[in-house]
């Protein structure tokens, strides 16, 4: 059965929603300049309210390893998602400092635990050509996933679906949409 990640939490009430419906993962955006970007302080306040059984993922974009380690050292995240041009050298240096699982967007780089496929413009809510994915390594699929296409995404046999804007109303997490998409993933039998 595929897992599900609800990404882009921005408010403390989002913690209540995910604690109620229990996705496998939640995501905090640390990449600069994004609508859902959090400060370390804000992410920590939300993270502290998340059920310990839910894996908290920090999303980074070409950021200094010391910054990534600061987020880790604050106890905010349980896994790392790299969404930029981080290469094998970067990942190797990061691996020297942490054993947390690493998800790498767009490429199957040595040292990563998972690949994430997403739209070139993450957070846009737009899908991409899913036929271009290399599915030989466990992968997350993101990019415009919502209740209307999640079953098609699940048919590709991902390790996990990664949803952000697809569970929002007016730019904020919607508990009814979170509940619906988690139920769809949990009951999928393809």
Q: Which of 14, 24, 78, 118 is catalytic?
A: 118
Per-residue model confidence (pLDDT) at position 112 = 87
pLDDT tens for 36-59 read 999 999 999 999 999 999 999 999
Per-residue model confidence (pLDDT) at position 122 = 53
Task: Give the global pTM.
Answer: 0.92
Lowest mean pLDDT of 61-70, 103-112, 159-168, name the range.
103-112
Query: How large is the greatest C-alpha to C-alpha distance in the chain, in angstroms?
Result: 42
- Catalytic status, residue 112: no
Whether the pLDDT of residue 131 is over 70: the answer is no
pLDDT band of residue 106 (cuts 50, 70, 90) is: confident
3-state SS track over the chain: CCEEEEECCCCHHHHHHHHHHCCCEEEEECCCCCCCECCHHHHHHHHCCCCCCCEEEEEECCCCHHHHHHHHHCCCCCEEEECCCCCHHHHHHHHCCCCCCEEEECCCCCCCCEEEECCCCCCCCCCCCHHHCCCCCCEEECCCCCCCCHHHHHCCCCCEEEECHHHEECCEECHHHHHHHHHHHHHCCC
Whether the pLDDT of residue 28 is over 70: the answer is yes
Instruction: Name all domains of the chain by residue range, CATH numbers in brackets.
Output: 3-187 (3.20.20.70)
Q: Which of 7, 14, 78, 162 is catalytic?
A: 7
In the predicted model, what is the mean pLDDT of residues 117-130?
A: 63
Whether the pLDDT of residue 148 is over 90: the answer is yes
């Amino acid at each position: 059965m595929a897992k599900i990640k609800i990404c882009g939490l921005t408010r403390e009430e989002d913690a209540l929603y995910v604690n109620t419906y229990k996705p496998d993962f939640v995501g905090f955006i640390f990449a600069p300049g994004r609508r859902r970007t959090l400060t370390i302080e804000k992410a920590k306040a939300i993270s502290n309210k998340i059920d310990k059984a839910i894996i908290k993922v920090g999303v980074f974009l070409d950021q200094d390893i010391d910054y990534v380690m600061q987020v880790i050292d604050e106890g905010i995240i349980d896994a790392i998602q790299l969404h930029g041009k981080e290469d094998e050298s970067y990942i190797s240096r990061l691996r020297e400092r942490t054993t947390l699982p690493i998800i790498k967007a767009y490429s199957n780089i040595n040292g990563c635990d998972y690949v994430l496929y997403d739209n070139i413009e993450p957070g846009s809510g737009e899908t991409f050509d899913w036929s271009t994915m290399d599915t030989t390594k466990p992968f997350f699929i993101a990019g415009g996933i919502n209740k209307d296409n999640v079953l098609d995404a699940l048919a590709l046999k991902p390790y996990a679906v990664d949803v952000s804007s697809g569970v929002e109303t007016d730019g904020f997490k919607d508990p009814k949409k979170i509940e619906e998409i988690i139920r769809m993933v949990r009951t999928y039998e393809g």
